[in-house]
Every structure is written in C-alpha cells, then in structure tokens.
Amino acid sequence: MKNILVPVDFSDVTGAIIEEAARMAKMTGAVVTLIHIAPPNPDFVGYEPGPVTVRNAVAGHLRDEHRQLQAIEKDLAGRGFKVVSLLIQGYTSEKILGEAARIQAELIVMGSHGHGLLRHLVVGSVTEGVLRKTTCPVLIVPALKHE
C-alpha cells in the first residue's frame, strides 16, 4: 500500500481516525495524506459589495483549521510517518473522492458520526456519500462516546 487518504473534520473522532491511519501506515509504509474540507465560501464572499467582516471571519476560520491540520501533520511526521496535509474548500464528499483519485489512494480512513436517522447512526452522510462512489476500500472509525 502506497497512499492512505485521511479526511479529518476536527470532531471528537479525529484522534481515533488519526491513530487508525497511523497504525495502517506503520504496517504498510504508506504515505498518509490528511485532508480537511472547508465549506465553500458563501456566494457573496469575494465580491466587492460583500461584507468585509464575513470575509475576515471566513479567512480567520480557515487559518485556524489550517493550523490544526498542520499540528496533526507535525505530530505524525515527528513519529516518523510520511505525511502530507491539504486544506481544500468545496463539497466534502466530492473533494474526498477527487483527492482519493488524484493521489491514487488505496485506502480511505474516515470517521462516522452518529446523528440523525437510523442509517446515519452507523454511517454519516459524508461517509455514506464516499462509500457510494469510491473505488478503493474505506475503513470507517466509529464515533463512540467514551466516558
């Protein structure tokens, strides 16, 4: 295995996802590609009449997310893993699938979130969207409440 794609959303399950990806990378020597998908800008952001405060808030939020992603990358690299991190804006499932194809991922390690309908208790909507269209195996790390 050469490439593992790891979508992260900085939720409670992120740590478990990272550790599972690290375990798989250690066994295979694969490069870990961390990806965080930020929502696309609202339609009015970037246009002259758009509120400056909204543009500044979006930019600040993206900087914070980028720092969090870099911290995970630095931790993994410090433990000897080959790791790359990317922050991309767009529609989550589509961007994950696109990046998986681009890097020729042989495994996607991602989490599920247990909210909503019964189907979404097992697999979140983003995870479900990836599962429907991916061409590579997906390892799903469940979001379990540990007390």
State the CATH number of the domain containing residue 124: 3.40.50.620
Residue 147 included in any domain: no
- Two tokens, residue 7: 């979508």
Which segments in the chain show pLDDT lower than 50? 117-123, 146-147
- Two tokens, residue 94: 């589509």
Structural domain for 15, as ranges: 3-141
Residue 146 included in any domain: no
For the chain, what is the domain count? Answer: 1
Residue 73 included in any domain: yes
Q: Rounded CA gap, 101 and 136, in Å?
A: 9
Q: Which residue has the tokens 């696109």?
A: 98
Q: What pLDDT score was predicted for residue 146?
A: 43
Residue 101 included in any domain: yes
> Residue 25 in contact with residue 129, Cβ under 8 Å?
no
Q: What pLDDT score was predicted for residue 47?
A: 52
DSSP annotation of 145: -
Q: Which residue has the tokens 């979508």?
A: 7
Q: Residue 70: how many CB atoms within 10 A of its CB?
A: 13
Alpha helices in the chain (DSSP H): 14-28, 52-78, 92-103, 118-122, 125-133
